[in-house]
Structure 1
Amino acid sequence: MTTPEPTPEPSHEPSRESTPEQPSTGETPAAPASDDKVYRSPLGIAGGVFLLLLTGLFAVDAMVRGEGRAPWLALAGLVLAVPLIVAFTIRPAVYANDERLRIRNPFRSITLPWATVADVRAGYSSEVFTQDGAKYQLWAVPVSLRQRKKAARTAARASQDDPHGRTSVTADVRDSASRIAPGDKTVADLREFAELRAKNPGAQGEPQVRWAYEIVGPAVAGLLLLVILIATR
């Protein structure tokens, strides 16, 4: 006669492989902010770098070889010129993402949620208009009348050489984009941003304008120093 083997009792200890559930806080994770699309003028940046090098060369030469007040005048002129060159050539930029348009002009920074943007236009200069009637220039998006005329001539030749008589509805989009001046193409992109993203939850708010004191302060200091040196000659 055989005796049955005892069966092991179930263990009440928690398994080490199971992980306890985390209590729900009811909060949804925030969506990651989209990257900015940056618009700048390569020619403006290149010109600014060249002017900075040229200004620095003349100022250093005057401070080393100059006599009397010449070194001090050169220093004051350098303190005045460098911020102004940076402000008008290297600093201007336009940043656009899904929530807002940020404009960095020579002496101001403007932040416009897309819901506040009424229109973006390009005449003799690129400009953005807000819902309350304010207007801000886009220094980083220069308008070239020469390039605009060249693009218009290219489009006219393309329409004459088209053997199939394509209209703007059936034409290739890439061909149409290539017949637009770069400044006008950027304005069209920004206008499309404003139309598509104005109703986004994160695109609401009020315009914000901030003065670029990091540019204005050194420039004013250099101007005051230059005026004092000239007045006390």
Structure 2
Amino acid sequence: MGDALMARSAEGVTTHYSTSSRVLAIAWIVVAVLLLLDLVLRGQDRTAWIAGAVLVFSVAAVYATWLRPRVVSTERGIRMVNPLRETFVPWAAVQWVDVVDVLRVHTPERVYRSWPLRETKRARVRENMRRESGYLDHDDDRDPTTMRPVDLVARELRRDAERYRARPLRGPIREIDEEGPAALGAEDRPQTMVPVEVIVVLGVPLVLFVAVLFIA
């Protein structure tokens, strides 16, 4: 995965994701669709059915690992969407946000790691590890033009945490449009779940593949 990151903002919501991963995902989905059309037009035997099932499952896997993952900053907390699970961390539980090999959100209970927002430069990862070990001080006042993309995201999330903790929204979360399903009912503690979307997106192609093996 590349380190080019993109942020899409709406009122009170900012979505961070890997641009390069999404480009690769869309490119593969287009290729897979073209291959599937070719199989439909020319393939009639068992091998063609199996190849088609594999292509369908590959599209589902690419969607789950490259297209779906993102980190969303909302008015109520941070939504961390990873390939198989997603976590909602209310602002009250956010102690710190930093980067080692990936962006991490620290809470009193544990540290949550983000799949899509990662540092791909090895020298930078080693420097981050030395900083985490106490050998380097964290400098939050650097010139943004000199900062790595994922470091900019971490700094923005730290500032969001400070801003929203100063005027918190109280009560359990009832709306999940931006916060996601893991936020439902959350108050001050993080919640993690496997969304129904993931079960359907990966489960249906897997069932299709198994069925093709036995029927075709």
When the two structures are superposed, what TM-score results if normalisation uses the length of structure 2?
0.70
Structure 2 residue corresponding to 1:99, chosen from 76, 89, 92: 76
Larger Rg: 1
Return the match for 1:48 from 22, 25, 31: 25
Moved over 6 A (4+): none
**Is 1:144 equivalent to 2:127 in the alignment?**
no
Number of the residue aligned with 1:218? 201
Whether the 8 Å CA contact 2:32–2:55 is kept in 1: the answer is: yes
Match of 2:115, SS state, is coil
Q: How do residues 55-66 of structure 1 correspond to structure 2 at under 5 angstroms? A: 55-66=32-43
- Identity between Structure 1 and Structure 2 (%): 25
**Unaligned 5+ runs, structure 2:** 1-9, 126-138, 171-186
Tell me how far apart the structure 2 counterparts of residues 193 and 90 of structure 1 sit (CA, whole Å): 25
Q: Deviations over 1:40-86 (max 9, x none)?
A: 11111111110101111222212321231134213322331222111
1:207 aligns with 2:190: yes
The answer to which structure has the higher strand fraction is 2
Aligned length: 180
Q: Which amino acid aligns with 1:76?
A: A
8 A contact 1:77–1:226 mirrored in 2: yes
Which of 121, 132, 155 aligns to 2:109? It is 132
- Measured in 2, the distance between the counterparts of 1:206 and 1:40 equals 24
What root-mean-square deviation, in Å, do the aligned CA atoms of Structure 1 and Structure 2 show?
3.0
How much has 1:146 moved relative to structure 2? 5.6
Partner of 1:187: 154
| Alpha-carbon shift at residue 184 of structure 1 (Å) | 1.3
Aligned to 1:86: 63
Paired with 1:34 and 1:63, the residues of 2 have a C-alpha distance of 44
d(CA) in 1 for partners of 2:123, 2:145: 12
- 2:16 aligned with 1:39: yes
Q: How far did 1:199 drift?
A: 4.6
Query: TM-score by structure 1 length?
Result: 0.66
Q: Provide the rounded CA distance (Å) in 1 between the counterparts of 2:17 and 2:211.
A: 37
- CA distance in 1 between counterparts of 2:18 and 2:102 reads 14
